[in-house]
Amino acid sequence: MFRKVLFPTDFSEGAEEAAKRFERVNEMPVGEVILLHVIDEGAIEDLMNGYSLLYENEELELKEVEEKLKMKAMERLQSKVEDVKRIFKTEKVKPVVRFGIPWEEIVRVAEEEDVSLILLPTHGKLGFSKELLGSTAMRVVKKTLRPVLLLKPKCKLGGEEE
């Protein structure tokens, strides 16, 4: 049994497909799942830089935007909890929202939560990673001492889609 699994999600179809693949191949219950969404601080900064002339107090506005994004992300994570419980065969799901650089936050949360496995989809959407396998996933693999399972959302085995 996996004691604790970290499952980062960007809410993309790729992340959902990776979870479904895990469900198909995993027969054991998982003790707990940390369901993580990282709000990319670089994307927020890029967004705010384009509109900084519109704000009287840019720092205050940035905090308000961050809080709204965090609240929306937590709502989306909460809406996924029941599916995650079923997919991972667990009753314990802890939704977590972080701001930062996605790969750094994934590694940090894995250490803080002392996870036994990091489950990463190989394809996400822009914001989680444009070319996930080339950047975020590879950085996580290089920087963590935790086991990492990379799952392709769909792959062809023997010419047929799994």
**DSSP code string of the chain:** -EEEEEEE--S-HHHHHHHHHHHHH--S-EEEEEEEEEEEHHHHHHHHHTTGGG-SSHHHHHHHHHHHHHHHHHHHHHHHHHHHHHHHT-S-EEEEEEEE-HHHHHHHHHHHTT-SEEEEES---TTT-TTGGGTHHHHHHHH-SS-EEEE-SS-EETTEE-
Q: How many domains is the chain partitioned into structurally?
A: 1
The predicted-structure confidence for 76-89, as pLDDT tens digits, reads as follows 999 999 999 999 99
Q: What is the CATH number of the domain that holds 89?
A: 3.40.50.620
Question: Taking the model in full, what pTM does it have?
Answer: 0.82
pLDDT (0 to 100) of residue 136: 83
pLDDT digits (tens, 9 = 90+) for 39-84: 988 777 766 665 655 566 667 777 888 889 999 999 999 999 999 9
CA proximity to 153, closest of 137, 135, 139 = 137
Is residue 158 over pLDDT 50?
A: no
Could you list the residue range(s) of the whole structural domain that residue 156 is in?
2-161
